[in-house]
Structure 1
């Protein structure tokens, strides 16, 4: 098996089809999970409901300054076409990843490589496959970075100007609207270093790329939203530029985060994330690069990809607040390097076996979720099931959340759930004949005992219980 090129091509093709189908099925099987997915989905739902396409909202009337709007626009528009549900929330990011796969396939095919090979590598990379249908800003950022890097390469390598020259600036604008100035931080340094290493003159760069027209294109696409957002929600630019792009990365456990807490990690943890979430392809690439270390800088394409690959983890090495999702853009140069060196790997069978490990686990998980006990889903980090049952069984009963509402409870109640705190218990109980209160199990101890004794527990899942109050 897999002993010749025809068998290998067939295995790659059918693996891609199976993985894509199963990944799409999972977008509907798995509920939106707290905090990240539910948060961004709720922000998009609020945008769709309020029709405010400028100022993102974390709750009704509460602005969300942490991210630009592109990803939210995608989900909100998806809601307008397919209704408010998990698949509609995730569909844009599933499609973005498929677009990435298609772009890389077309790109390597022009160099005489297999159209399907980069798709197989990416879809068997844990970080990429996880993001192929997860509500976040990272997939669109990854697309933006990929377009910036490839269009820059195309612009420098070709003598005649083409759409690639202008796509470079369009991609920068998309990056600014998807994640902000970080897109320049992750792309400009490796490009600048590469130009120096390859001794490409400033004159050539100036002549081959339409800088003046291109910058105007970037400004025309990205700047209007930034100005409108600051105008309608003063303070946005200070929080987003200074807080999100400086303090988040240098201040350990940054306390200025308005929407959560910093993800404090040991210095250098980004490299662990890279090795784990890009398995096994990053390991194969590093082994190959070590063997070719004396000639890397002599090869323009390989040196371009190596700088693209290394810069992101190098940059985040000094960051104290990171997530494994920051390695997503690195999966692209890893895939392109694997395609470049593919013919030099003698034991293709080993590549296929190790590459198929994570997708195989995904297949098992899909079957367990689809045909297993519903309790498995209810035990996930979501309030979907308890909220939906309460709405169905108690349609006219007000529902409150003790202390702080979860994002999933907001999304699945269409924003109807309200907050109840100790100071408001008496006024709420006096104004309602009955109501339901959701309480996280680790927060039950904070509810006044005399009030809790008046309530009856009517439902419970792994992390949350529902209590009913009746006069």
Structure 2
């Protein structure tokens, strides 16, 4: 079953273009790493450093492009491999604690949650951080319950945190500290935690792995540490609609929105534990208490881990669906535990449960098969949020392509950085520029748009339909429309 879902996910990597601005932005930053050869400082645009996130996820995508060339598949293959490592990690952990069948069902639930399946080959920073936090959480549990390899697991705990630091930053430590702290506090495990975890030498190991990049990044682009630690890790989450974001817009949502996102992102499984709790409340409660006591706080640990992201982001207005990801591996285990408890079982599935699970997984797969067919044979359905077809059409015409207005990262990615954006002003004029850049920023001021008519070459001009009215009829007399897309029109200069 998992093999079929994996094949489906791989097919989607090929047929689905970059329709999300987040994915296309990180894919383009990764492509620039390969093109410029600058693996130290990711670049938001040529010679413009990207300070929003550490580089581990971008290194992962760049490595795929280095091996396979620039494509949707190569940008995503590294992320897919990370997701498989994460599935294996959860499987091994659950197998050791709850048995082979339980582990297989748990990872099936995990892989088929909406958020994990879509993120499993989605170019972003979150899944690398989840690998780090999950490794830390599994290592901590094993260090507390495995006397033979206690020291090894203790050091692996800090290796996981180091991965999180290089993937997304200190938030990885926070999202690991919340569930571990809650579990230790409520079970009064302070002494054993101090004895079993090499806190001093482990912290030094974590810093030895992660700190060098932060030092070199600050040295290469002074001001990075202040923006990253103060802006990205304080202002972003405490200031509604924070305007200091250099690379995007803060999201302002009602307080508590993260809980709704958590339930939605755990579909199609999130309703199963609710049913067990509602209809079998007493038996479920008693069974979960027995499991928790028998497994030395297993259920308590899983619950804290699953809820850590939503607890942390409850009062934040700046939230997006991927923020729930760090708790999803544990949430899959929690869902299965509560579901089993509703049937009064320890770790084995009953026949009715197997039927329900098969129906859910097959329905889930069916929806994605239909989506795959639509993406493959009717790409115009999603062309609204992708510039792939427009760029391919321009490349077929063999003419330089200019965009007006809002930056389109997918256009840059699919054109290998050759598109030129014309805008009212250069929004990065005050940013620190990297030294010895391979290329200069490709921006033209609106006041210089006449260059399109005076450069002695025939050009293509892409513009949103809503922005056509910003230019005079005299300007448009020099162009003819050649293509129409969902949001954009493509014009060719008349020579």
Give the TM-score normalised by the residue count of structure 1. Answer: 0.91
Residue 423 (structure 1) aligned with residue 455 (structure 2)? no
Q: Structure 2 residue aligned with 1:194, among 176, 183, 191?
A: 183
Is residue 319 from structure 1 mapped to residue 316 from structure 2 by the alignment? yes
Alignment of 1:159-308 (within 5 A): 159-160=147-148, 161-202=150-191, 204-286=192-274, 288=276, 291=281, 292-293=284-285, 296=289, 298=293, 300-308=297-305
Instruction: Name the residue aligned to 1:8.
Output: none
**Does the Cα contact within 8 Å between 2:175 and 2:326 map onto a contact in 1?**
no
Matching residue of 1:11: none
2:482 touches 2:492 (CA, 8 Å); kept in 1? yes
Cα separation, 2, equivalents of 1:354 and 1:151: 32
Question: CA contact under 8 A between 2:217 and 2:224: conserved in structure 1?
Answer: yes
- Per the alignment, residue 100 of structure 1 pairs with 86
- Per-residue deviation at 1:336? 1.6
Q: Which residue of 1 aligns with 2:415?
A: 413
How far apart are the structure 1 equivalents of 2:463 and 2:271?
A: 45
1:43 counterpart = 2:18? no
Q: Which residue of 1 aligns with 2:440?
A: none
Give me the whole-angstrom Cα distance separating, in 2, the residues matched to 1:279 and 1:80: 35
Separation in 2 of the partners of 1:159 and 1:123?
31
Within 5 Å, which residues of 2 pair with 1:122-133? 122-133=110-121
Q: Which residue in the other structure is 1:113 paired with?
A: 100
Match of 2:47 in 1: 61
Q: Does the C-alpha gap of structure 1 residues 357 and 376 become closer, same or farther in structure 2, counting only changes over 3 Å?
A: same
Q: What aligned pairs does 1:13-28 form with structure 2 within 5 A after superposition?
A: 15-28=1-14
SS of alignment partner, residue 390 of structure 1: helix
Is contact 2:306–2:334 with CA below 8 Å preserved after alignment? Answer: no
Distance 1:287 1:210, change over 3 A: farther
User: Which shows bigger deviation, 39-48 or 334-343?
Assistant: 334-343
Unpaired stretches in structure 1, ≥5 consecutive residues: 1-14
Name the SS for the 1:364 alignment partner. Answer: helix
Aligned residues: 452
2:391 maps to which of 387, 390, 410 = 387
Corresponding residue number in structure 2 for 1:12? none
Cα offsets for 1:130-161 (capped at 9, x unmatched): 11111111111111111111111111112232
How far apart in 1 are the matches of 2:307 and 2:20? Answer: 31
SS of residue in 2 equivalent to 1:127: helix
The offset of 1:448, in angstroms, is 3.6
Deviation at 1:345, TM superposition (A): 4.5
Q: Could you say what secondary structure the match of 2:449 adopts?
A: helix
Aligned to 1:77: 63
Paired residue for 1:141, among 119, 129, 136?
A: 129
Q: State whether residues 151 and 196 of structure 2, in contact with CA within 8 Å, keep that contact through their aligned partners in structure 1.
A: no
Q: Is the 8 A contact 1:281 1:334 kept in 2?
A: no
Q: 1:230 to 1:94 in 2, by over 3 A?
A: same
Instruction: Give the drift of 1:429.
Output: 2.0
User: 1:434 is paired with a residue of what secondary structure?
Assistant: coil
2:33 partner SS: helix
Q: CA RMSD in A?
A: 1.9
**Does the aligned pair in 2 maintain the 1:32–1:86 contact within 8 Å?**
yes
8 Å CA contact retained: 1:309, 1:334: yes
Gaps of 5+ in 2: 344-351, 424-445
